A and B are shown apart, each in its own frame.
Chain A
Amino acid sequence: MLRKVLIIGAIVLGGAQVACADDAVDPKAEFKAFRDYFVGRFPKVPFDDFVNGPYSMDEGLRKQWKDIEEFPPYEFAVDKGKEMFAKPFANGKTYADCFPNQGIGIRQNFPYFDAKSGQVITLELALNQCREANGEKPLDYVKDDMAALTAYMAFTSRGKRFDIKIPDDPRALAAYRKGEEYFYTRRGQLNFSCASCHVQSAGNHIRTEVLAPALGIMAAMPIYRSEWGAMGTTSRRFTTCNSQVRAVPLPPQDELYRDVEYFLTYMGNGLPVSGPGARP
């Protein structure tokens, strides 16, 4: 009966894996292995190019993207984000008051582990925390306004390299570990993990899409997806990825999603911010 309904993703596990019963977490070693895997598998891709996702994997797609980048579809969102960012709250304060360097050129520092609250703070969460601290209602994580704000903040940070830290704090290590577990766990009726597509099948097609490698996959966020006809946040992408494999998504910016973002962004350390991005 179970076999009738369980559709097992026919993705063969590739790469070198050693099934150790290993519970000591070594992010630095895992970071190196992660990066070496992708660099080794795609030797012709210049390191910085990994942030361009599918365009680093497919020449034809890349040409179309270069054309689109002459008049990027996310321009309108960036302009809107700039206006929103500058507009003061009802109490006279602005977003700039909540962030270092007035909020300019800081995208590469997110997400980070906050020792005080013991949780991972993403850019989206920080923006809503800023709003609520100043008496404003939080923005919907999957809608256009949040996407416009994060698009603007990514735009001002282009080229800056990610350097996510995992402090010597068991809670931070636990967050990294939980994010890693989520990334590699198969879910949904289609039984795919994030790794099924973005590690094992990176560079291959799924229907008409070319799959982006997991290395640097957070660097282009937020993204304007032609499929959406709109700018979309990290939250939007995580929740839709879940429903696409027929798994009921977590609530946007759920602690587990933030842990995943923490893990994935850390794995892309050294790569530059390329957001906001344009994707098919």
Chain B
Amino acid sequence: MRFGLSIGLMSLAGAAALAFAAVASPAEDFKAAYAKAEAASQQAASLKTQWTTTVATLHAAQDAAKASKYDDAVSLAHQAEALAQASIAQAREQASAWKDGVIR
């Protein structure tokens, strides 16, 4: 990335910085990813359909971030979010699907 001195170039650089989020610090990337994952996890928890693997993966993401392994941490955070979303989808489907299994 080249930062020019003129305002035009600076605003262009600013826009570029916004557009190319990968240039933002890895720690910030992680924070954003983790926040999303945590929100999904909490929603699953409120529905009482939290998976143990969601919780474990979230912890693992935190641990990786603490060890400054940000690539791993972001990947784990994404995985945790996916697990949480899957558990929410499971709860939503099961809310009516459970009746199909009742012995009649």
Contact = CB atoms under 8 A, between A and B. Distances in A.
Interface of A: 1-2, 4-6, 13, 15-20, 22, 29-30, 33-34, 37, 180-181, 184-189, 191, 193, 195, 199, 243, 246-248, 250, 256
Contacts of A37: 103
A250 B104 CA distance: 28
A187 B49 contact: yes
A187 B54 CA distance: 13
19 contacts: A1-B82, A2-B86, A2-B89, A6-B90, A13-B101, A15-B103, A22-B99, A29-B104, A33-B103, A184-B101, A185-B94, A186-B94, A186-B97, A189-B52, A189-B53, A189-B83, A193-B101, A247-B51, A256-B48
B102 A17 contact: yes
Interface in B24-66: 45, 48-53, 55
Interface of B: 45, 48-53, 55, 79, 82-83, 85-87, 89-90, 94, 97-104
B104 A186 contact: no
A20 B104 CA distance: 10
Contact of B90 (A19, A30, A191, A256): A191
A29 B94 CA distance: 23
Contacts of B104: 16-18, 20, 29-30, 33
Contacts, number: 80
B89 A30 contact: no
Contacts of B98: 181, 184-186, 193
Given A186-B98, A191-B90, A193-B101, A247 B82 contact: no
Contact of B99 (A5, A29, A184, A248): A184
A18 B101 CA distance: 9
B48 A250 contact: yes
A248 B50 contact: yes
Given A186-B90, A189-B52, A248 B100 contact: no
A188 B51 contact: yes
Nearest to A23: B99
B45 A5 contact: no
A2 B83 CA distance: 8
Contacts of B99: 19-20, 22, 184
Contacts of A1: 82
Contacts of A188: 51-52
Given A188-B52, A193-B98, A246-B52, 19 more contacts: A1-B82, A2-B82, A4-B82, A5-B79, A6-B86, A6-B90, A16-B104, A17-B100, A19-B99, A20-B104, A33-B103, A33-B104, A186-B94, A187-B49, A187-B94, A189-B52, A191-B90, A199-B103, A246-B51
